[in-house]
A and B are shown apart, each in its own frame.
Chain A
Amino acid sequence: MQYFMVYMTMAVTAFAVENAAFTRGLGLSKATLLLNSRWEGLIYGVVTTWMLVLSSFPVSLVNYYLLDVTFIRAIRAPLYLLCVLASYVVTYILVVRFFPKFQHIVAAALPISAFNTALFGAFYVSGTQRFTFFETTGYALGTGLGYTIALLVIYYARKRLAISPVPRAFRGLPILLVYIGLLSLAIYGLIGHELPI
Chain B
Amino acid sequence: MKIQAGKSYKKRHRVISSIFISNPALVLGFDLPFLIATSTSLRNAAAMSIAMLFIHMATIMFSVLFVRKLPVMLRALLSVIVSTGVMILTRELIIFIFPDILNTLGMYIYLLSINGLTLFQSLSLTSRSRLRPVLRREFFHVLAFVLAMFSLSAIREWLGQSALFGIPIDMPYKMSGFLIPFLGFIAMGFLLAFVKAFNRGLFSFLIREDHKRASRMRVDY
Q: How many A-B Cβ pairs are below 8 Å?
A: 145
**CB proximity of B51 to chain A, nearest CB, Å:** 13
Binds A, one of B8-16, B143-151, B176-184, B205-213: B176-184
A178, B192: Cα distance in complex, Å: 10
Residues B51-92 near A (CB distance < 8 A): 72-73, 76-77, 80-81, 84-85, 87-88, 91
Residue from the list A31, A124, A169, A172 in contact with B111, Cβ < 8 A: A124
Q: Knowing A30-B29, A174-B196, A175-B189 touch, does A185 contact B182 (C-beta < 8 A)? A: yes
A76, B110: Cα distance in complex, Å: 9
Q: Is A170 part of the binding interface, using a Cβ–Cβ cutoff of 8 Å? A: yes
5 closest residue pairs by CB, A with B:
A181-B185, A197-B106, A177-B189, A184-B182, A124-B107
Q: Knowing A26-B33, A174-B193 touch, does A120 contact B110 (C-beta < 8 A)? A: yes
Excluding A81-B81, A121-B111, 9 further A-B contacts by CB distance (< 8 Å) are A27-B33, A92-B73, A120-B110, A169-B194, A173-B192, A174-B189, A178-B186, A185-B182, A197-B37
Q: Is A25 part of the binding interface, using a Cβ–Cβ cutoff of 8 Å? A: yes
Are B37 and A77 interface neighbours, CB within 8 A? no
**CB proximity of B40 to chain A, nearest CB, Å:** 10
A92, B72: Cα distance in complex, Å: 13
Against A, the Cβ 8 Å flags (1 = close, 0 = not) of B190-207 are 101110110010000000
Are A169 and B33 interface neighbours, CB within 8 A? no
Are A117 and B73 interface neighbours, CB within 8 A? no
Are B29 and A115 interface neighbours, CB within 8 A? no
**CB proximity of A165 to chain B, nearest CB, Å:** 15
List 6 A-B pairs, Cβ < 8 Å: A28-B32, A29-B31, A30-B120, A81-B113, A172-B196, A194-B179
Are B33 and A88 interface neighbours, CB within 8 A? no
Residues A99-138 near B (CB distance < 8 A): 107, 110-112, 114-117, 120-121, 124-125, 128
Are A30 and B28 interface neighbours, CB within 8 A? yes
Give chain B's interface secondary structure class: helix
Give chain A's interface secondary structure class: helix
**CB proximity of B181 to chain A, nearest CB, Å:** 6
Contacts of B72 in A (CB 8 A): 107, 111
A73, B105: Cα distance in complex, Å: 13
Q: Knowing A25-B37, A110-B73, A173-B192 touch, does A180 contact B185 (C-beta < 8 A)? A: yes
Q: Interface size bucket, A side?
A: 35 or more
Residue from the list A29, A74, A185 in contact with B29, Cβ < 8 A: A29
Are B110 and A177 interface neighbours, CB within 8 A? no
**CB proximity of B63 to chain A, nearest CB, Å:** 13
> Considering only CB atoms, which chain B residue lies closest to A27 in the complex?
B33
Contacts of B76 in A (CB 8 A): 111, 114-115
Contacts of A73 in B (CB 8 A): 91, 102
> Considering only CB atoms, which chain A residue lies closest to B87 in the complex?
A77
**CB proximity of A141 to chain B, nearest CB, Å:** 20
Are A178 and B185 interface neighbours, CB within 8 A? yes
Are B186 and A29 interface neighbours, CB within 8 A? no
Are A77 and B88 interface neighbours, CB within 8 A? yes
Contacts of A110 in B (CB 8 A): 73
Contacts of A116 in B (CB 8 A): 114
A34, B116: Cα distance in complex, Å: 14
Residue from the list A78, A92, A182, A197 in contact with B108, Cβ < 8 A: A197
Residue from the list A23, A117, A188 in contact with B114, Cβ < 8 A: A117
Contacts of B115 in A (CB 8 A): 117
Q: Is B19 part of the binding interface, using a Cβ–Cβ cutoff of 8 Å? A: no
Are B197 and A169 interface neighbours, CB within 8 A? yes
> Which of B30, B91, B186: most chain A CB closer than 10 A?
B186
Contacts of A182 in B (CB 8 A): 182, 186
Contacts of A117 in B (CB 8 A): 33, 111, 114-116
> Considering only CB atoms, which chain B residue lies closest to A77 in the complex?
B110
**CB proximity of A59 to chain B, nearest CB, Å:** 13
